[in-house]
Amino acid sequence: MASKVVVTGLGVICSIGNNLDEFEQNLREGKSGLKDISANRFDTSDAFFRSRQGCTIDQELYAAVFQKDVTVLGELSVRAIDEALQRAQLDIRKIDSRRVGLCLGTSVGGSYPFMEWVKNRIDAKEQDFRLLMHSTPNITSRIAAQFGIRGPLSTISTACASGTNSIGRAFDLIRSNRVDCMIAGGVDIFTYLTYSGFNSLFALSKGACQPFDKGRDGLNLGDAAAYVVLESLESAQKRNAPILAEVSGYAIVNEAYHATAPHPDGIFACQAMQNALKMSGATPDQVDYINAHGTATPANDKMELKAIEHLVNGNPVYVSSTKSLIGHSLGAAGSVEFVATALGIHKHFIPPSINVKESIITTDNIKLVEGKAINYPIDLALSNSFGFSGNMASVAIRSFN
């Protein structure tokens, strides 16, 4: 019999908070994390950039983390995981570490050291960046070693669905009784490489991103590390751990449609949500809230709205895109949005969308939460991640009573 999977800990660092409490406060208030990109991060003075802003973490924190870890990803992850473990009241040293695993999702990965290595090779400088040490899989291994995790490890890179897929992979491992506990999430710090790439696709907004708004012109990139502690219900109850929510369903499909653009009809996005609900034993009319992928790119928002309309079929549902506050954190997007959703379930509020001037939503049953969070008892929510190359993922999260 499959084990129930519950959420016992959350940890997050992003542009609107260096910890979960700051994140919750600014999330509720609808505070934007958008700011000018520091010249100490990288130079944005080139005329071809559509924007010189992003939802970056505090520069002081970035500099401190960079001094310890040139990838930034490992050290930032350690800090977020440490918070999640503390909130879960979990000491890995006191349990069977072979029954604890780690799933890390990332899109950027160890690209910064590789870029520096390439530049130094071009400039004929003699500098050893120890690329193997900074490779993406090794980042995961070093984190596991630091916490004494001896169970299964996964490094997942499925574009913007990576964070959700890392949680889904952890869910599957616990549900099949292969482990008792998993630390899962995602981390990405955008670099000159990713910023230039999205700029070249004309995907960056010239100002603040506006998901589901008629004037939307693209996304803001964001930094984030977000991790959750997932456990079997039996493990959590045995420890008398705090239970924040239940993960009840997960699905991933691939459109095989286009390298960057989603299928315009939203049929595969809808399928991902339907499959997650089916595993959850729920029906679309039971969904209270959908944390949308909501990138504020013209194609994605239009597609996702079609998918949601088809899914709920006239039934009422609340929708928002937290990317309007924290930006698109690529491989971490799904995990930070999962944290926002699970937090909303536990604390009885629905996170907002901001920057909405004229919504593209025309049906009365789909209610876009605007400006600030609303108090609402969420029983069932979906968190969506729809990535490049057709990677579509959705996770169903329930309140735990």
pLDDT (average), residues 294-303: 94
Report the alpha-carbon distance of residue 274 to residue 396 in Å, rounded: 10
User: Active-site residue 263, yes or no?
Assistant: no
**Which domain covers residue 205, as residue numbers?**
5-398
Predicted confidence at residue 255, as pLDDT, reads: 85
Tell me, what CATH number does 204's domain have? Answer: 3.40.47.10
Catalytic pick among 160, 181, 209, 270: 160
Predicted confidence at residue 111, as pLDDT, reads: 74
Give residue 217's Cα distance to chain centre.
21
Whether 150 shows a pLDDT value over 70: the answer reads yes
pLDDT (average), residues 1-11: 90
Label residue 3 by pLDDT band (50, 70, 90).
Answer: confident
User: Active-site residue 209, yes or no?
Assistant: no
- Exposure of 228 by Cβ count < 10 A (0-12 exposed, 13-18 middle, 19+ buried)? buried
Whether 283 shows a pLDDT value over 80: the answer reads yes
Across all residues in the chain, what is the average pLDDT?
Answer: 93
User: Active-site residue 160, yes or no?
Assistant: yes
Whether 282 shows a pLDDT value over 80: the answer reads yes
* This prediction's pTM: 0.95
Predicted confidence at residue 128, as pLDDT, reads: 61
Secondary structure class of 320 (helix, strand, coil): strand
Label residue 126 by pLDDT band (50, 70, 90).
Answer: low
Count of the separate structural domains present in the chain: 1
